[in-house]
């Protein structure tokens, strides 16, 4: 079974600085998707960025980018120029290509932005 691990329960960063959230996963599949979701106090899960495992190029969405290391099964999220609105819980998630289409989530990292 696939597992996702986020080893940082909490992180904090000064406004306008850069922060990196870590995620590792375990799978025997060769092709899959990886995601970072943001969950603000409103509770709604919002997709931040996604990465297809067959793509070697790291995904980027404006201030958000990932460092995808397939051999190491590592998938970190970098947030540049942090803003107060970035404060939220961040979840790393895995979804396979074959068989089950469910999302497997990590335990989450609470990100605090200090003004």
Partner 1 sequence: DAGVTQSPTHLIKTRGQQVTLRCSPKSGHDTVSWYQQALGQGPQFIFQYYEEEERQRGNFPDRFSGHQFPNYSSELNVNALLLGDSALYLCASSLSPRAEAFFGQGTRLTVV
- Nearest distance from C-beta of residue 107 to partner 1, angstroms: 5
C-alpha 42: how far from chain center: 19
Residue closer to partner 1 by CB (options 14, 102) is: 102
In the three-class reduction of DSSP (H, G, I as helix; E, B as strand; rest coil), residue 24 is classed as strand
- Nearest distance from C-beta of residue 90 to partner 1, angstroms: 10
Count of positions (residues) in the chain: 115
- Nearest distance from C-beta of residue 9 to partner 1, angstroms: 9
C-alpha 87: how far from chain center: 14
Residues that bind partner 1 (CB under 8 A): 4, 37, 42-47, 50, 91, 93, 100-108
């Amino acid at each position: 079974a696939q597992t996702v691990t986020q080893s940082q329960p909490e992180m904090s960063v000064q406004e306008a600085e850069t922060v990196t959230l870590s995620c590792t996963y375990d799978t025997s599949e060769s092709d899959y998707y990886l995601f970072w979701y943001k969950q603000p106090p409103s509770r709604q899960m919002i997709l931040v960025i996604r990465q297809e495992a067959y793509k070697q190029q790291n995904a980027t969405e404006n201030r958000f980018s990932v460092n995808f290391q397939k051999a190491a099964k590592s998938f970190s999220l970098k947030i540049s120029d942090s803003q107060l609105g970035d404060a939220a819980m961040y979840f790393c998630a895995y979804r396979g290509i074959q068989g089950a289409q469910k999302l497997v989530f990590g335990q989450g990292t609470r990100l605090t932005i200090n003004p």
